[in-house]
Amino acid sequence: MGTTNIEYNIPFVQEVMEATRNMWEMGWDERNGGNISYLVDEAEVKKYIDVTKVKRTLPLEFPVKELAGKYFVVTGTGKYFKNVTLAPDVNLGIIRVAADGMSFDIVWGYADGGRPTSELAAHFMSHIERLKKDPQHRIIMHCHSTNVIAMTFVHDLSEKAFTKTLWQMCTECLVVFPDGVGVLPWFVPGTNEIGRATAEKMKDCRLVVWPQHGIFGAGTTMDETFGLIETVEKAAEVYMLVSSHREGIKQTITDQELTDLAKAFGVTPVAGVLKV
């Protein structure tokens, strides 16, 4: 692809390379499953990329004026996380949203003529909501974490019930995601509709479960976002282990204990889950 290998020296591209590799190794991203978008400051991008050289401009089907002029590293649609480290300039791209929010310029990557993830609507709309909550917000991460998917087959899909079970599965869960998880109904993926619904949930929490599909996470750093999903996936794994145990669940963390935990760690559990 005529790569100069400059991407191996770009720290924010490196971070996406590492994350995709780790996610694939966790078994969360079979084939082309999963996608990441990473908001990077213009000054940081300009240190490494000549942003006046636009490779292609592509239209957006949904307006994102709030993101005008912003730069994102985004995984390519149809690309395998397994392969990102082998050819980052093919599997990733850097894009800049146009001033009117109706298109974006590709300034680096997608070297085989590719384009950003089919879930770009969910990513961009979620970035808009999370940035309103926290100007430090940077990352949207989607993956097909196995036990979260499994849990959506056998657990009540009400957000409060789903959140409470996750909190009960590992003591630190409540501390890591006191806002709980949002849960959508089943949707066709890659649509503006699932994007809008995901972003609506992102107004209140940083984790959104897509039943029989996977999870979306949001955060300020790659580590933090990865850690959020890792924590939910671990709790879902414990749930899948204990719920199928022939002895059944004999004890769990009580609502009073969860309340004591929240107090000790200075977090506020989302209202309506704990009954104390």
Phi, psi of 33 (to 5 degrees): -60, 140
**Contact string (CB under 5 A) for Zn ion, positions 188-217, x = contact:** --------------------------x---
The closest of 152, 147, 217, 163 to 185, measured between CA atoms, is: 152
Per CB under 6 A, contacts with ligand 13P among 33-52 are 33-35
79 vs 84: CA distance, rounded Å: 8
Residues 215, 209 contacting (CB under 8 angstroms) = yes
The residues annotated as belonging to the active site are 119
CB atoms inside a 10 Å sphere around CB 158: 10
- Which parts of 168-207 interact with ligand 13P (CB under 6 A)? 189-190
Q: Which stretch binds ligand 13P (CB under 6 A): 3-11, 117-125, 158-166, 239-247?
A: 117-125
What b/e string do you get for 22-54 counting C-beta neighbours within 10 Å, with b at 16 or more?
ebbebebbeebbbbbbbbbeeeebeebbeeeee
Nearest approach, Cβ of 182 to Zn ion (angstroms)? 16
Smallest gap, in angstroms, from Cβ of residue 117 to ligand 13P?
3
- Closer to ligand 13P by CB, 170 or 183: give it: 183
Tell whether residue 78 is a contact of ligand 13P (CB under 6 A).
Answer: yes
Binding site for ligand 13P (CB under 6 A): 32-35, 75, 77-78, 117-119, 142, 189-190
Q: Tell me which residues touch Zn ion (CB under 5 A).
A: 214
